[in-house]
Structure formats: structure tokens, C-alpha cells
């Protein structure tokens, strides 16, 4: 087998050296009745070309050559080939968690840069070395707020990504957290009027997403002021990180939980991505996850180490701030390389292009009779559209033209049937947007 570096005679030599005749003897500590006698019922081994063929066949069963208007937490953005070339260097790809700092300075330095970039983008003071993704980062941020406030009520905007809320519900259920949802208004934003004193009383955190699941920007400053008025923390989650290239950062938030997929990471059917938690310096000891910090060696040379580990499971076990161990370091590196390439101007330009494309698409769609925008709040690159017919029906027709249409959000919001979530990033050519609008017009004009 090509991955195994031993010849049959070397195996024999090694067995002889340890004084056993047959390799089976090495497994005698397993009670005999549990030792398998037959080979496992797995398909026969494949060579490299056969493995590639298998996956090419699977790729062809997906949606090759389709145009997609899906976003909803996973976004298609331009990625440079340089990023992948850097990340595929074996020294990054095949290294372990940098506990042995002297031979891990590459990874540690990159993590330190990642933490810095995340602070710069979010307007927060400290960011960790990554969480699994946006959904789990949000849950961890909420648990952090619970520890910081010693309160158990969590107020969550209904305009937070439904799958993020589902993950939070799974964790909250057994920890005695009481999660209450707050509605949205005609602008598609958090209903601030619903945030009464009674509602806020005893709350650990108010959770908002901006841009939210409807693509609408929230007023983070106002939400923070309201939360703080009753001693609650504001947790802000961001699923579309490119928005930070132009949108004012949630500096008033106490904890930011972000999905970094938009920073050069492929959609990859939902992962691996990179979650981020950023917060204020004073809360750092309640943060989950790894942190890289700067220090020096005996000769005074600058170096980086994993630090404040007294928060983590391998030191604190049941008293740790989280059970997270493995994180998404390689994808934090992707984000870091990508952001260094884009730079200050590139990120702003990318964000501006997203706004322009989304505004153009919105205008094209609004020209179609019966199509309207139900929410009036400002949007970044995603928006909800109301159609005169079911989204499912429209999508079935679009699929025949190799277009993956709007996400039907009625599945998650029963009151929002006939509404679809449309995402248009800088990667979508104008011609495709025009074709999309023309197709929808034709579909809606056709007799039912």
C-alpha cells in the first residue's frame, strides 16, 4: 500500500527484533472473541486515479455550471490562487496545534496576525484563534455572556440565522438557559419596542445578527444601549464578514461571534469554515478557544506562544470555559492570507462591489410586476423578495435553466411564505443578473 513505508522483509525484521513471530501476537491483549477474523466489508482499495474518478463522478452529480443566488450564511467571493498555494504548504497543512512553540513559530505568528485582523475588522479589543464556525461561535458567545453576567435568560432576534438559533437551542436546553425570541419590524430589523424593561430584566444577553438573515443591517449601537440599560450584554453575530469592508464595525457589542467563510474560504457544502469570537479585553479570561500571545525568549527575541491556557479543557478539565480543543486553524490561515492579499483598499472595493451588485439586482427584480421588497431596511449583498407565486414553483422553473434561485424562507418563517432570499456578490456578472430577472419575469407571466 502506497501510504505505508515498510517492505515485507522490514516488517519481519521488526517483528523479530521484538521477539514475536506473527503480527497477530501484537493484538493478544484484545480478548479473542472480539478479534476480527474476516476482512472488513469495505469496497476494495482504490488507486489514486480511481479515487479521483470517484470524486469527479460525485462532483458531476451536484450542480456543475449552475448559477446560484444562494447566500444565507455561505457566500461565493473571489479567491486568489495565492491563498491556496500558501495553505497547501506541508509546513502549514501537516503541522499540529502549536503547543511546542520553538518549532511552531510559523503557525503562531499567523494566528497572531489573524487575531489582529479580526480585532481591526470588528472594532473589538481581543479575538481568539478560531472557533468551529459562526453557529457554534454564537453559542459559545452566549455561554460566555451567561458566565459574565451570571444570568440565564437569553434574548435572541428572530432575524438571526435560523440554523444558528437551532444550534443555540440544542446547547441551551440542558444548561437551563431560557431562550426567548424577539420579533422583527417592517424594516426587517429587530423590534426595539418589544425590548421592554420586563423583557430585558434578568437577561444575560441580547443577540442580534448584522447584516441579519434577511440581509438587513441592524442598528447595533441602539441595540447595545437598550441591552446595557438593564445590565445585559450585546452579542452580535456576523455571517457575511465581507460586509465589514464597508459597514461600521459592531464596536458597541460586548461580544462578536463571526463566521469568516467569506474571507477566501470555499463554500465546500457547508464547511470547514472559521468561527471567530472577539470581545473586550476585560472579558478575555472568560473567552473560549485558543489564544496566541507575544513574548520573548531568554535572548530577548520576539516569539509567540499559546497563552492564557488556564481557560482551556486540557488544563482545567470540567472547569474550562468550553470543551473546544481542535479548532479551524488552517482556515484562520486562509482568511489571514486572503485578507493580506486584498488589503485595505481591496476589501473596501470588494464590499462596495457587493452593494452595487445587490442594488442592481434589486432594481431589476422590482421592475417585475407583482415582485416587491417586503423589508425596507438597508441591505448589503442579500435581500428578501416577495413574489406573487410560491418560491418553490419559481425555483423549479429556474432549475430547468440551470439557475439555483432564491432560498424559500417560509420553511423557517411560516409568516413569510412566497418570500425568497436573494444573494448577489461581486462574483455575479451583470448578464447573469439580467438573465435571472428576465427568467423570473417570464415564469411569473406564464399561466399557472
Partner 1 sequence: LDSKLTETEAPPAMIRKAGRHVSQNEGLIFEKSAPGKRGMELPPLDVPAVDPSHALGRESVREAIVGFPEVSEIEVIRHFTRLSSWNYAIDLGMYPLGSCTMKYNPRVNEHVARLEGLANAHPMQPAEVAQGCLRIIHDLQNSLLAITGMDAATLQPAAGAQGELTGLLMIRAYLAGKGDPRGKILIPDSAHGTNPASVVVAGYEVQNIKSNSQGQIDADHLREFVTEDVAALMVTNPSTLGVFEERIAEIADILHERGALLYMDGANMNALAGVARPGDFGVDVMHLNLHKTFSTPHGGGGPGAGPVLVKKILEPFLPTPLVVQKQDGKFALDSNRPKSVGRVRAYCGNFGVLLRALAYTLAYGPGIRQATEDAVLNAVYVRQHLEDYFDLPYDLPSMHEVVFSDARQKRNGVNTMDIAKRLIDYGFHPYTTAFPLIVPGAMMIEPTESESKEECDLFIDAMRSIAQEAETSPDVVKTAPHSTRVGRLDEVAAARKPILRWKP
Q: Which of residues 95-134 bind partner 1 (CB under 8 A)?
A: 95-98, 100-107, 109-113, 115-117, 119-121, 125-127, 129-130, 132-134
**Grid cell listed for 331:** 482556515
* Angle at alpha carbon of residue 119, lines to 101 and 377, rounded to 5°: 145
Residues 184-203 that bind partner 1 (CB under 8 A): none
Tell which one of 204, 224, 242, 407 touches partner 1 (CB under 8 A): 407
Q: What are φ and ψ of residue 208, in 5° steps?
A: -130, 160
Q: For 79-99, give the DSSP string.
A: --HHHHHHHTSHHHHT---S-
Q: What's the closest the beta carbon of residue 196 comes to partner 1, in angstroms?
A: 25
Tell which one of 166, 178, 229, 376 touches partner 1 (CB under 8 A): 166
Residue written as grid cell 438587513: 216
Site string for partner 1, 209-238 (x = CB under 8 A): --------x---------------------
Q: What's the closest the beta carbon of residue 224 comes to partner 1, in angstroms?
A: 14
Residue 13 in contact with partner 1, rule: CB under 8 A: yes
Which of these ranges, 178-186, 197-205, 351-359, 440-448, lies near partner 1 under the rule CB under 8 A?
351-359
Q: What's the closest the beta carbon of residue 303 comes to partner 1, in angstroms?
A: 4
Residue 169 in contact with partner 1, rule: CB under 8 A: yes
Which of these ranges, 145-153, 187-195, 225-233, 313-321, lies near partner 1 under the rule CB under 8 A?
313-321
Q: What's the closest the beta carbon of residue 355 comes to partner 1, in angstroms?
A: 5
Q: What's the closest the beta carbon of residue 148 comes to partner 1, in angstroms?
A: 17
Residue 325 in contact with partner 1, rule: CB under 8 A: yes
Spatial separation of the C-alpha atoms in residues 70 and 54, rounded to whole Å = 27
Spatial separation of the C-alpha atoms in residues 308 and 316, rounded to whole Å = 11
Residue 397 in contact with partner 1, rule: CB under 8 A: no
Which of these ranges, 43-51, 179-187, 190-198, 230-238, lies near partner 1 under the rule CB under 8 A?
43-51
Number of residues that bind partner 1 (CB under 8 A): 197
CA distances from 74 to 28, 153, 160, 261, 339 (A): 49, 29, 14, 7, 18
**Grid cell listed for 107:** 503557525
Tell which one of 150, 193, 197, 317 touches partner 1 (CB under 8 A): 317
Q: What's the closest the beta carbon of residue 293 comes to partner 1, in angstroms?
A: 4
Spatial separation of the C-alpha atoms in residues 325 and 394, rounded to whole Å = 44
Q: What are φ and ψ of residue 366, in 5° steps?
A: -70, -15
Spatial separation of the C-alpha atoms in residues 175 and 94, rounded to whole Å = 37
- Count Cβ atoms below 10 Å from residue 64 Cβ, excluding itself: 8
Distance from the first to the final alpha carbon of the chain: 60
CA distances from 144 to 78, 148, 384, 423 (A): 34, 6, 32, 32
Residue 161 in contact with partner 1, rule: CB under 8 A: yes
Residue 256 in contact with partner 1, rule: CB under 8 A: no
Tell which one of 240, 328, 391, 444 touches partner 1 (CB under 8 A): 328
**Grid cell listed for 446:** 406564464
Beta-strand ranges (E) seen in 118-175 are: 126-127, 153-157
Which of these ranges, 69-77, 151-159, 185-193, 367-375, lies near partner 1 under the rule CB under 8 A?
69-77
Tell which one of 202, 267, 374, 410 touches partner 1 (CB under 8 A): 267
Amino acid at each position: 500500500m502506497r501510504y505505508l513505508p515498510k517492505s515485507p522483509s522490514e516488517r519481519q525484521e521488526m517483528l523479530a527484533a521484538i521477539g514475536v513471530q506473527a503480527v497477530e501476537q501484537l493484538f493478544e491483549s484484545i480478548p479473542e472473541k472480539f478479534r476480527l477474523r474476516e476482512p472488513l466489508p469495505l469496497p476494495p482499495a482504490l488507486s489514486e486515479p480511481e479515487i479521483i474518478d470517484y470524486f469527479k463522478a460525485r462532483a458531476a452529480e451536484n450542480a456543475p455550471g449552475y448559477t446560484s443566488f444562494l447566500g444565507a450564511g455561505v457566500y461565493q467571493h473571489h479567491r486568489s490562487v495565492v491563498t491556496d498555494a500558501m495553505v497547501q504548504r506541508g509546513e502549514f497543512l501537516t503541522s499540529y496545534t502549536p503547543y511546542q512553540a520553538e518549532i511552531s513559530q510559523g503557525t503562531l505568528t499567523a494566528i497572531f496576525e489573524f487575531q489582529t485582523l479580526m480585532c481591526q475588522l470588528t472594532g473589538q479589543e481581543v479575538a481568539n484563534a478560531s472557533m468551529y464556525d459562526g453557529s457554534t461561535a454564537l453559542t459559545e458567545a452566549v455561554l460566555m455572556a451567561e458566565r459574565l453576567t451570571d444570568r440565564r435568560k437569553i434574548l435572541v432576534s428572530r432575524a438571526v440565522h435560523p440554523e444558528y438559533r437551532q444550534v443555540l437551542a440544542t446547547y441551551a436546553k440542558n444548561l437551563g438557559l431560557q431562550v426567548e425570541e424577539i420579533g422583527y419590524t417592517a424594516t426587517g430589523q429587530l423590534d426595539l419596542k418589544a425590548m421592554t424593561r420586563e423583557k430585558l430584566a434578568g437577561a444575560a444577553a441580547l443577540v442580534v445578527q448584522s447584516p441579519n438573515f434577511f440581509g438587513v443591517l441592524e442598528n447595533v449601537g441602539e441595540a447595545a444601549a437598550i441591552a446595557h440599560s438593564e445590565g445585559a450584554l450585546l452579542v452580535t453575530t456576523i455571517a457575511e464578514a465581507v460586509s465589514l469592508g464597508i459597514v461600521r464595525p459592531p464596536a458597541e457589542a460586548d461580544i462578536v461571534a463571526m463566521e469568516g467563510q467569506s474571507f477566501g474560504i470555499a463554500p465546500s457544502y457547508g464547511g470547514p469554515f472559521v468561527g471567530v469570537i472577539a470581545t473586550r479585553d476585560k472579558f478575555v479570561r472568560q473567552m473560549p478557544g485558543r489564544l496566541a500571545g507575544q513574548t520573548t525568549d531568554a535572548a530577548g527575541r520576539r516569539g509567540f506562544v499559546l497563552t492564557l491556557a488556564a481557560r482551556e479543557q486540557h488544563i482545567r478539565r470540567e472547569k474550562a470555559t468550553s470543551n473546544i480543543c481542535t479548532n479551524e486553524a488552517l482556515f484562520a490561515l486562509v482568511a489571514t492570507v486572503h485578507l493580506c492579499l486584498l488589503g485595505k483598499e481591496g476589501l473596501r472595493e470588494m464590499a462596495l462591489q457587493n452593494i452595487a451588485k445587490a442594488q442592481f439586482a434589486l432594481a431589476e427584480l422590482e421592475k417585475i410586476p407583482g415582485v416587491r421588497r417586503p423589508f425596507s431596511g438597508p441591505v448589503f449583498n442579500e435581500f428578501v423578495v416577495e413574489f406573487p407565486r410560491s418560491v418553490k414553483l419559481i425555483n423549479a422553473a429556474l432549475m430547468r435553466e440551470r439557475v439555483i434561485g432564491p432560498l424559500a424562507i417560509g420553511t423557517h418563517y411560516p409568516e413569510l411564505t412566497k418570500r425568497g432570499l436573494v444573494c448577489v456578490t461581486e462574483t455575479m456578472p451583470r448578464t447573469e443578473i439580467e438573465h435571472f430577472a428576465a427568467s423570473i419575469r417570464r415564469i411569473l407571466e406564464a399561466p399557472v
